[in-house]
Amino acid sequence: MLVAPALLLASGADAFAKGKMSLCIHSNTSNGAGYRAAVEGWAKAGIKLVELNAAFIEVFVKTDSLDGAKKLLADNGLTLVHGAVGVNGLLEPNPNHQAALDNLKRRLEMFSALGLKKVYTTASGTEKLAADDYKVVVDHMRAVGETVKAFNMICSVEFIRSSPYMSTLLTALKVTREAAHPNFGLMFDFYHFCSGMNRLEDMDQIRNGEINHVHFQDVPDMPRELLDNNTRIIPGDGVSPIVPMLQKLAAKDYAGPLSVELFLPKFRDGDPAEVAREIRQKCETVMRRAKVL
């Protein structure tokens, strides 16, 4: 059931060769540059696939248009493969869940106009849940699944290290499997996995085709307690077991984008072309070592 939507919606840039992955850049990596400068810079560096945050697009649209945003991608030979909806309150129990779904629909309308088929939300939240509260999370996953289904999309959840209720791969696997909605699944983030309470062997629990999208980063050699968004670094520059992790993902039939999402000011505010060139050189090196490029 979880594999089905990926097969049904696969087309164009989403139809990756079996066992192979392609480099992608997340707009958060060049957030300080703005939409136009980022798109043009990434293209100069030879990047082909991009992932965009909804708010990043909205800033551009205020002075331009969605058609202009779409044309800029096309003119620079870039394909939009994934989007961050950036809506809080979608999954955890909260009194504003319907309002969150309404906000999600507005973001989906925008992404749909750009031709996008895959988006994600995060397991954000401020409160630790009781065991019974996970039933609500499951119900909310199904509600999000139904919402994105109306747009012919898939939504995935990103487990995040700081989440009080879904900070690990194993929890995310358990809850998304309970939801069992064909339009709602799971994505995998190297930073959140390597900086949190996860073990490499946990990846063996992934079922074939279960991962819909991947965020690609490394972490430095320092106590995990000191890691945060600003300690994310380019894959290959840190101590994460990048090659074995890529190989495990390939063994589970993941063939799709590896989206580099970094937050350090030197990346975020740097020249997008230079940042993307460094990312491409280092990432493609480790991807070749893992035989996924």
pLDDT value at 155 more than 50: yes
Euclidean distance between CA atoms 278 and 41, whole angstroms: 12
**C-alpha 233: how far from its chain's center?**
16
pTM for the model stands at 0.93
- Per the CB < 8 A criterion, the answer to whether 187 and 218 are in contact is no
**How many other CB atoms sit within 10 Å of the CB of residue 151?**
18
**How many other CB atoms sit within 10 Å of the CB of residue 39?**
25
**C-alpha 83: how far from its chain's center?**
7
pLDDT of residue 13: 45
- For the chain, the straight-line distance linking the first and the last C-alpha, in angstroms and rounded, comes to 28
pLDDT of residue 19: 67
**How many other CB atoms sit within 10 Å of the CB of residue 121?**
25
Euclidean distance between CA atoms 121 and 131, whole angstroms: 22
Euclidean distance between CA atoms 4 and 154, whole angstroms: 11
pLDDT of residue 17: 64
Number of domains in the chain: 1
Residue 145 belongs to domain spanning: 4-290
Top-confidence residue, 240 or 11: 240
- Per the CB < 8 A criterion, the answer to whether 23 and 280 are in contact is yes
pLDDT value at 253 more than 60: yes
CATH number (domain holding residue 73): 3.20.20.150
The percent of residues above 90 in pLDDT, for the chain, comes to: 91
- Per the CB < 8 A criterion, the answer to whether 131 and 90 are in contact is no
User: What are residue 83's DSSP bridge partners?
Assistant: 52, 119
